[in-house]
């Protein structure tokens, strides 16, 4: 059976590496991106099964990345879970409005994150 691919987008390498390590232990294949432009490029070229997307990113924020992917028929099926330090209700609402299928706040419990990934991945 082919491993599901997850794109982890975070500009903090320690966070991205921790998430990658945990998800790979669960049998997922993970790729990473450190800014919004790289995230958009990798989402389009790699066509991951799910994207974990930070909001506060260099070059292009996560809201814009999500909107661009969700308005494109080729990529709108990819589930996006926003994983961010933005904890306000307004941030959560904006995340959902821009296309996020889920919204988790940092610091995130890894068990909760893995469960969210398994729930949203197709």
Burial class (CB in 10 A: 0-12, 13-18, 19+), 85: middle
Joined together, the tokens standing for residue 106 give 């940092």
List the domain boundaries for the chain.
5-120
d(CA 94, CA 41): 23
User: What's the chain's Rg over C-alpha atoms?
Assistant: 13
Q: pLDDT tens string for the chain (122 positions)?
A: 689 999 999 999 999 999 999 999 999 999 999 999 999 999 999 999 999 999 999 999 999 999 999 999 999 999 999 998 877 888 888 888 888 999 998 888 899 999 999 999 96
Determine the pLDDT at residue 1.
62
Pairing mode of beta strands 5-9, 50-53: parallel
Cis peptide leading into residue 35 (ω within 30°): no
Q: What is the pLDDT of residue 78?
A: 97
CATH annotation of 5-120: 3.40.50.2300
What's this model's pTM, rounded to 2 decimal places? 0.94
């Amino acid at each position: 059976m082919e491993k599901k691919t997850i794109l982890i987008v975070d500009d903090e390498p320690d966070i991205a590496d921790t998430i990658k390590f945990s998800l790979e232990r669960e049998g997922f294949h993970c790729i990473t991106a450190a800014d919004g432009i790289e995230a958009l490029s990798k989402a389009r070229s790699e066509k991951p099964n799910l994207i974990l997307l930070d909001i506060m990113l260099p070059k292009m924020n996560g809201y814009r990345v999500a909107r661009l992917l969700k308005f494109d028929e080729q990529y709108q099926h990819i589930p996006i879970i926003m994983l961010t330090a933005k904890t306000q209700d307004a941030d959560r609402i904006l995340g959902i409005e821009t296309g996020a299928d889920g919204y988790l706040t940092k610091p995130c419990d890894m068990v909760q994150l893995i469960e969210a990934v398994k729930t949203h991945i197709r």
